[in-house]
Amino acid sequence: MDVEARMGAEMALRSLWFGPAVAAVALLIGGPPAALAAIVGAAVVALVFLFTGKTLSWAARRSPTALGTAALAGFLVRLLLLTAFVWVAIRFLQLDLIGLFVGLAVTYIGLLVMQARKEAVR
């Protein structure tokens, strides 16, 4: 397994215990609706990391240009998809805004920090 796919898979696996911890904090902040929204946000973050790792791994095997293109295009696509997801989640699914933000932001940043610390000691 390539390094990018390995890191994406590790972060997605780590979200299995980190996501519920974030949801517990959201439960304290905003009750059950916030906890549900936080779990949904954490699941979306896990999928984003998994997809990103697989995409970058595929592109790295092609060429350095493909890797750079995949990184930039992937960032833009993820940004658009996350924006669309938040809009749909709030507008149509009526998920709790604070819980969703806590789930997305805290999980995203928390998993990145944990992975960076892990990679720093390798």
Mean pLDDT of 64-77: 94
Q: Is the pLDDT of residue 93 over 80?
A: yes
Mean pLDDT of 64-76: 94
- Where residue 26 falls among pLDDT bands split at 50, 70, 90? very high
Q: What percent of the chain has pLDDT above 70?
A: 99
* Tokens linked to 63: 């060429």
- Where residue 50 falls among pLDDT bands split at 50, 70, 90? very high
Mean pLDDT value across the chain: 94
- Where residue 2 falls among pLDDT bands split at 50, 70, 90? confident
DSSP classification of residue 121 = T
Q: Is the pLDDT of residue 21 over 80?
A: yes
Q: Indicate the pTM of the whole model.
A: 0.91
Q: Is the pLDDT of residue 122 over 80?
A: no
Report pLDDT for 71.
94
C-alpha 13/C-alpha 3 separation (Å) is: 15
Long-range CB contacts (< 8 A, 24+ apart) of 57-65? Answer: 57/1, 57/2, 57/3, 57/4, 57/5, 57/8, 60/2, 60/4, 61/2
Categorise residue 80: left if φ over 0, alpha if ψ from -120 to 50, beta otherwise.
Answer: alpha
Mean pLDDT of 109-114: 95
C-alpha 96/C-alpha 37 separation (Å) is: 6
